[in-house]
Amino acid sequence: MKQILLLGGSGSIGTQTIDVINKYSTRFNLAGISVGNRTEIVEELIKKSANLNYFCLKNEKDYLYFKAKYPNKHFYFGDNGLIQIIQECPCDMVVNALIGFVGFLPTIEALKLDKTLCLSNKESLVVGGEIVNKILREGKGKLYPIDSEHVAIAKCLYGKDKSDIDKILITASGGPFFFLDEKEFRNITPEDALKHPTWSMGQKITIDSSTMMNKCFEVIEAHYLFGVSGDKIEPIVDRKSHVHSMVRFKNGDTYLQVGPSDMRIPIYYALNESRPDDENGFNDVEKNTTNKYEFYPMNFEKFPLINYAWKCLEKGGNYGAALNAANEELVYAFLNHQIKYMTISSILDKIMKAFSFIENPSIEDLVKTDLEIRKLTKEFINSDAI
Ligand SMILES: NC(=O)c1ccc[n+]([C@@H]2O[C@H](COP(=O)([O-])OP(=O)(O)OC[C@H]3O[C@@H](n4cnc5c(N)ncnc54)[C@H](OP(=O)(O)O)[C@@H]3O)[C@@H](O)[C@H]2O)c1
């Protein structure tokens, strides 16, 4: 029985991970969980599972409440609690389904402790992909991606030689505004941007999907996961999200992973340590069938944020940490109706030209960059507020 610690258990990926654990309950047990503001799930899970004993709450008041109510269980709280629960919860695997920068240090901690990590928090790799890979190289930790595109790429690459890759074609749905006239972009509301055409996800990633910042992050993620240079990674649009990504090889063959838009499929693959089995084999990998599907080229002018991916890979250092921090603040400001949709890219542009670049940042430098850029972004937001 694999003991699992799930970080971000109340979110979209978190709750679907619980579905997978429940479906394969003879193989997986939820040993620990972290939640943010949605604490109802803790009460429900305690009633259902006697084997779940470790909990991390975001807020101290929730921690005090649960600790008093369940004195025999282990409780932690806050950012430090996320680190402590990784250190103390007896588990074989950590699933990081946190959203944003808050997931970065837990990723680092899990890998430093040589844990097996299933990573949904792509921001960890955007912020500190170099450092994550260094810890993986030097230690015994393992990392398996959860993102559907990267599971698709991993499946297309299974048993193949990476030196034979011609292009990784990372698919995007194009989001709700792919065909919208650019002149209309100034009128986009959070409600419009939250209507994703094919996937049901948390709010932040849904906005990132509409601006293509999510695809930008996925290009960076693919680079660090598969060790492939940026010029070999190309986004391509499949409006129906049938094809989750493709790999074209130098001999001309193209492999495609095709399937329903259900995150439980890639989550299971990651929990199974990226190994195909009877439940999730290669039936969904097709060869040279691109003609069956309709693809569109990415529109880099209409969705300029995706271009930050290659800038980030070229610059390295703390560029990704700055990009992520500014984007997070801007997305939440847009969701809170503080700024307009178009302001996300205009402020981001100013920040990425002005921030202090560090070539070889330490983990502490990345934390500092995150804090400084958030402060700077908030100043821009306040001066640009609607
Ligand atoms: N959703 C998808 O389909 C999907 C697909 C591929 C990749 N991803 C990636 O998976 C990650 C999670 O995305 P999601 O859509 O599942 O996000 P989500 O629904 O917003 O869930 C995020 C989780 O993190 C918790 N959280 C947020 N801020 C926190 C903080 N400061 N301290 C402690 N916990 C905190 C939330 O708690 P509360 O909600 O309780 O406050 C929730 O449990 C992201 O990196 C995303 O890019 C998501």
Instruction: Answer whether 121 contacts ligand 1 (Cβ < 6 A).
Output: yes
At position 369, the amino acid (one-letter code) is T
Instruction: Answer whether 263 contacts ligand 1 (Cβ < 6 A).
Output: yes
Determine which residue's CA is closest to atom 36 belonging to ligand 1. 36
Instruction: Answer whether 151 contacts ligand 1 (Cβ < 6 A).
Output: no
Atom of ligand 1 nearest to the CA of 13: 16
Pocket test for ligand 1, best of 12, 207, 210 (most atoms within 8 A of CB): 12
Q: What is the pLDDT of residues 68-126, one digit of tens each?
A: 999 999 999 999 999 999 999 999 999 999 999 999 999 999 999 999 999 999 999 99
pLDDT at 95: 99
Q: What value does the mean pLDDT take over residues 194-201?
A: 86
8 Å CB contact between 350 and 380: yes
8 Å CB contact between 274 and 151: yes
What are the angstrom distances between the C-alpha of 319 and each of 127, 173, 205, 313, 316?
Answer: 8, 26, 20, 9, 6
Atom of ligand 1 nearest to the CA of 38: 40
pLDDT at 386: 60
The residue with tokens 């409006």 is 239
Q: How far, in Å, is the centroid of ligand 1 from the Cα of 97?
A: 6
Q: How far, in Å, is the centroid of ligand 1 from the Cα of 12?
A: 6
Q: How far, in Å, is the centroid of ligand 1 from the Cα of 89?
A: 21
Domains detected in the chain: 2-145 (3.40.50.720), 149-179+212-297 (no CATH), 316-384 (1.10.1740.10)
3-class secondary structure for 97-128?
CCCCHHHHHHHHHHHHCCCEEEECCCHHHHHH
Instruction: Answer whether 118 contacts ligand 1 (Cβ < 6 A).
Output: no
Instruction: Answer whether 39 contacts ligand 1 (Cβ < 6 A).
Output: no
C-alpha to C-alpha distance for 3 and 358, rounded to whole angstroms: 39
Question: Which of 150, 301, 113 is closest to 212 using CA atoms?
Answer: 301
C-alpha to C-alpha distance for 48 and 50, rounded to whole angstroms: 7
Instruction: Answer whether 361 contacts ligand 1 (Cβ < 6 A).
Output: no
Determine which residue's CA is closest to atom 45 belonging to ligand 1. 121
285-287 sheet: strands from edge to edge: 285-287, 254-258, 243-249, 165-172, 233-237, 296-297
Q: What is the pLDDT of residues 344-379, one digit of tens each?
A: 999 999 999 989 999 999 999 999 999 999 999 999
Atom of ligand 1 nearest to the CA of 204: 20
Average pLDDT, the chain: 96
Q: What is the pLDDT of residues 249-288, one digit of tens each?
A: 999 999 999 999 999 999 999 999 999 888 888 899 999 9
Share of the chain above pLDDT 70, in %: 99
C-alpha to C-alpha distance for 385 and 340, rounded to whole angstroms: 8
Atom of ligand 1 nearest to the CA of 14: 16
